[in-house]
Amino acid sequence: MLKEHLFVNGEKHLINISFEKRKTITCTIKDEIQIKMPTRLSQKEKTKQLLKMKKWISKKLQEKPLKNKKIYLSGDKIVLPNKIYEIVVFEKNNKACNGVLKNNQIFLTISSNLCFQKKQTQISKIINALLAKEQTPQLKKKIYALNKKYFQEKINKISFKNQKSRWGSCSTKKNINISTKLLLAPDDVLDYVCVHELAHLKEPNHSKAFWQVVEKVMPDYKDKKEWLKKNGYKLNL
């Protein structure tokens, strides 16, 4: 099995390439990208066909981007608006996976017994947890400032959460959670989501009155909402 990476729209995608006793070349794009090629091809022909497949994959991903899981390799960097982190990955023959954040580096210890996809799942979970812990104080500062200036409502807890299906939430207990994916978003877009959730302290649903509250605080909120609609799929942690 050969593994290569393809960059499309700034996103890194893993391609698994296998060589089998077959007559045709196939390519599937699902949770991962898989190319199957005949072993009978010469090295020159394999290189030619692989290049052709990559161009086809790139075109397809530009037309319809994958909701892919982020791939992290040692030496990769996570660029946030306020900080850049370098990832350092160690593999050990044990069951436990863990990590620690020191200054601008995220040190990860991952079990070598896991398959590639499971390693990536563990890496993603650990990175989300570490960044959420470090960045939550800044989030609290931002939300408390917005609340003091515009809402004057009681807030219980504020935190970053590894939320996949929504950008933020505000519970009946006045807990405000913001998706860790927004750590990668422009600061004004994060501001919009914070304002959105704070507005729920006054209006619990998405009624006309709710959007009036949001617009009063952020007159151009529709621009931020549209940005998330167009670019949200890129925010992968």
**pLDDT attached to residue 144:** 98
Q: What is the pLDDT of residues 135-155, one digit of tens each?
A: 999 999 999 999 999 999 999
Give CA–CA dist 152/172, Å, rounded: 17
CA atoms within 13 A on the CB side of 145: 7
Give Cβ neighbours of residue 27 (< 8 Å, ≥ 6 apart): 33, 34, 35, 36, 53, 56, 57
Query: In the chain, how long is the greatest CA-to-CA distance?
Result: 71
CATH superfamily of 135-234: Metalloproteases ("zincins"), catalytic domain (3.30.2010.10)
32 to 10, 69, 121, 130, 150: CA distances (angstroms): 17, 9, 13, 26, 45
Check residues 1 and 209 and name the one with the higher pLDDT: 209
Q: Would the pLDDT of 68 be above 60? A: no
Residues 176/127/167/214 CA torsion (nearest 10 deg): 60
In contact, 231 and 223? CB cutoff 8 Å? no
Check residues 10 and 42 and name the one with the higher pLDDT: 42
Q: What is the pLDDT of residues 162-208, one digit of tens each?
A: 987 789 999 999 999 999 999 999 999 999 999 999 999 999 999 99
Helices (H), the chain: 43-63, 116-146, 187-199, 208-217, 221-231
Q: How confident is the model at residue 7 (pLDDT cuts 50, 70, 90)?
A: confident
In contact, 158 and 206? CB cutoff 8 Å? no
CA atoms within 13 A on the CB side of 2: 12
Strands 98-102 and 158-161: unpaired
Domain ranges of the chain: 2-63, 77-134, 135-234
Q: What is the pLDDT of residues 97-135, one digit of tens each?
A: 999 999 899 999 999 998 887 898 899 999 999 999 999
In contact, 159 and 139? CB cutoff 8 Å? yes
